Amino acid sequence: MLQMTLIIKGKVQRVGFRYSVVDFVLSQNLPIVGHVRNMADGSVHVIAQGDIEALKELHRFCTKGPPRAEVREVSEDLIQINKADFSDFTVLGD
């Protein structure tokens, strides 16, 4: 199992980005657990755990985001993990 951490920068807050990420994961039935949240610096932070193919799909989505988003940069960190730390994929914060 892998864990992918994404930091998405640009116009990514107040455009429905977090909820669109969760909707994408659920609508595509991706076997991913983790969370997505807004950061104080205006970026969106994603921690996702799953198999490489599902994580690639999520990464592709996050490079575009929802229609009102303007993604300028996506930084990624990928590590091997032994087991999932989460039971579902959710939005943190309000």
pTM for the structure as a whole: 0.96
Q: Give the DSSP per-residue string, the chain.
A: -EEEEEEEEEE-SSSSHHHHHHHHHHHTT--EEEEEEE-TTS-EEEEEEE-HHHHHHHHHHHTT-STT-EEEEEEEEEEE-SS-S-SSEEEE--
Do 67 and 16 form a contact (C-beta atoms < 8 A)? no
Written as one letter, the residue type at 30 is L
- List per-residue pLDDT tens for the chain, 94 residues long: 999 999 999 999 999 999 999 999 999 999 999 999 999 999 999 999 999 999 999 999 999 999 999 999 999 999 999 999 999 999 998 6
The CATH number assigned to the domain with range 2-86 reads 3.30.70.100
Tell me the catalytic residues: 18, 38
